[in-house]
Structure 1
Amino acid sequence: MKSFIGLRTLKTAVGATVAIIIAQVLGLGYAVSAGIITILSIQNTKKTSIIIALQRFGSTVLALFVAGTVFTLVGYNSIAFGLYLIIFIPLAIRFKVTDGIVVSSVLVTHLLVEKSISPYWIKNELFLMIIGAGIGILLNTYMPKIEGKIKEDQRDIEEKMRTILMHMAKALREQSVYIDEEKIFQDLENNLREASERAYRNLNNYIIYEAKYYVQYMEMRTLQLQILKYMRSYFTRFYMTFDQTDLVAAFTERVALALHEYNSAEGLLEDLKEVFQVCKIQSLPKTREEFENRAMLFQFLKDLEYLLEVKRTFKNNLTRELKENYES
């Protein structure tokens, strides 16, 4: 059962309150703005929080410079504020600090209301931004660990892939003309999408340590899912002789049973070469139908080979640090 108050909600409420109190203690004007900035600074990941905070600080400096220039030349009125926006927004886009456009413009309105660009008010707005964004970053230094959930995702994904391959092996043995795996394929696709989002969120919760492993793992499994979908299409078109299908079915079962995170697929790829060799020395097809089905069976094996190659490539492309994670 989900708690009524989530962690992000709690951090937002506490952070906004603390930011306002600090701004008031420092005697800053418009102290509530520090709390609003904190609310906008609480993000889902540490890295996002820092990036947005830096963008907003840069945007604030730019906004105060533009506003100070425009207000000095035009005065403190609605036309001046509109002219400020016409100049500031394109510059913010140009310097890639668009996340700070709204917050910076709110701070600029304080200058408009006070009819002043004195050092006191410039400092006031900068401190409001520093306090609000700083509290947001500080609270975002704590993020709950989600590696455990990602590990569960991995086990679920592998189990579904294992089930699909076992069903394919069974369909080959029974000379099935159709394999209905729509639900499990859909469930697997949904699992992969959610797990990929979690993997990216986990990646962005690390600032110094590089945590790409789970992202790369999910990308590898997603590619394997596309291969499995293609392999499934053969079951709507072919029937084959028992000797060949039994050989391929047995190997497909071996792949299914060996499908897990730490299997590099090296041994399976070597064994697959023997399967191809056995197929080569068998007698040639005697009918057109047999020829077509043998060709599709060969392509099924080639796709299975590609499935394994994807896993081997994944392992070989890992950095030394990620390989330690992979092999631990």
Structure 2
Amino acid sequence: MPILERTIKLILATVLAIYLAEFLGLAYATSAGIIAILSLLDTRKSSLKMAQNRLFSTFLALAIAWGIFSLIGFEIWTLALYLLLYVPTAYYFRWEAGIAPSTVLVTHLLLEKNTSLVFLGNEVAIFLIGAGLALVFNLYMPSQEAKIQSYHHQVKDLLQLILLRFQDFLLKGDGRNEASLINQLDDLLSQALKVVYLDRHNQVFHQTNYQVHYFEMRRAQNKVLRRMAKLINACQLEARESIILASLFERTAQQLSRENPALELLDDIALFHQTFRERPLPQTRQEFETRATLFQLLQDMEEFIQLKVDFYQEYKEEM
């Protein structure tokens, strides 16, 4: 979320929480604003979970403080005793995020020397106002859909460029920049995954793994391309073999869209395997190494395409 939007949300939630607490005549109304600040997080899902944990933590803190202050008295050392009991218990239940705001509320009991049900209700109300307004303001999260679709296009274009660069290398011997493009695609996929994970955590009631798995699938494909780049740079194929592989790279580059199942490409690879198996056995070490490189490239291409096919089969209903 842009810093300006985050700042505006924080200001509005804080000020409104204080105003509402004052309007209701609550003591220590400014604490509602502090709790609102602490409760505004980056995503809806994290805010909801944090508010829940802090609510439980607040009830725990007030219960322990009520027992200690009522039985022993309102002294600084009794506050230390409260912390001795409360902090490890909060960590045990994984409610440690509520330690700071809950302890602020407990200090109000110490300052007022008051553990009546009315004053305990005052503290609970302060928490509910601060955390509640933070949740309300966190309902607004800017849509990431346009950015995600932009990443889709950029990733597809880079993949096409890499495959076509492989084609050029096989046909013309020009493949000098494929490593930089692969590194560029890695960086782009990392950026895209950060955005889709953030967007997924903003979907509280309707979640899908589609976008996350899509970019993870592309990342897996890019790892295959990195292996292939090393093989292609070192291989010395015959003209016929180079033309066949180049045509496969070109066809694959044209079938990268999400909507394309790419099943025909697997059939092509199976046919190429059969064709090369029927050729005479290599007679020299160089021929053997060339044939091994050729089969490895075909295996890698099959893995590259199978990743796309598996993804399409899993999510074809969503596409």
Give the TM-score, by structure 2 length: 0.94
Residues 40-119 of structure 1 mapped to structure 2, 5 A cutoff: 40-119=38-117
Aligned position for 1:191: 188
Gaps in structure 1 of 5+ consecutive residues: none
SS for the counterpart of 1:55 is helix
CA displacement at 1:303 relative to structure 2 = 0.9
Distance in 2, matches of 1:107 and 1:140, equals 23
SS for the counterpart of 1:6 is helix
Match of 1:123 among 121, 125, 148: 121
Give the TM-score, by structure 1 length: 0.92
Aligned position for 2:245: 248
- CA RMSD after TM alignment: 1.8
Q: Which moved more, 1:8-17 or 1:87-96?
A: 87-96
Distance in 2, matches of 1:182 and 1:40, equals 45
Contact 2:45 2:201 in 1 (8 A): yes
Distance in 2, matches of 1:305 and 1:224, equals 11
Does residue 14 (structure 1) correspond to residue 12 (structure 2)? The answer is yes
Match of 1:204 among 172, 177, 201: 201
Aligned position for 2:136: 138
Q: Which moved more, 1:304-313 or 1:84-93?
A: 84-93
Aligned position for 1:171: 169
Distance in 2, matches of 1:300 and 1:45, equals 43
Q: Which moved more, 1:232-241 or 1:197-206?
A: 232-241
Contact 1:202 1:211 in 2 (8 A): no
Distance in 1, matches of 2:318 and 2:254, equals 23
Residues 224-303 of structure 1 mapped to structure 2, 5 A cutoff: 224-303=221-300
Aligned-residue sequence identity (percent) comes to 36
Gaps in structure 2 of 5+ consecutive residues: none
Contact 1:175 1:240 in 2 (8 A): no
CA displacement at 1:77 relative to structure 2 = 2.4
SS for the counterpart of 1:325 is coil
CA displacement at 1:236 relative to structure 2 = 4.3
CA displacement at 1:192 relative to structure 2 = 0.8
Instruction: Kindly tell me the number of residue pairs found equivalent between the two proteins.
Output: 319
Distance in 2, matches of 1:236 and 1:69, equals 75
CA displacement at 1:112 relative to structure 2 = 1.7
Distance in 2, matches of 1:70 and 1:234, equals 72
CA displacement at 1:257 relative to structure 2 = 1.6
Does residue 325 (structure 1) correspond to residue 318 (structure 2)? The answer is yes
Opposite residue 77 of structure 1, the aligned amino acid is: E
Q: In 2 relative to 1, CA 11–282 (structure 1 residues): closer, same or farther, beyond 3 Å?
A: same
Q: Which moved more, 1:298-307 or 1:308-317?
A: 308-317
CA displacement at 1:277 relative to structure 2 = 1.6
Distance in 2, matches of 1:19 and 1:160, equals 48
Opposite residue 85 of structure 2, the aligned amino acid is: I
Distance in 2, matches of 1:88 and 1:226, equals 49
Distance in 2, matches of 1:316 and 1:130, equals 46
Distance in 2, matches of 1:33 and 1:186, equals 49
Distance in 2, matches of 1:78 and 1:295, equals 78
Distance in 2, matches of 1:122 and 1:50, equals 23
Q: Which moved more, 1:224-233 or 1:247-256?
A: 224-233
Give 4+ residue runs of structure 1 displaced > 6 Å after superposition. none
Distance in 2, matches of 1:223 and 1:110, equals 55
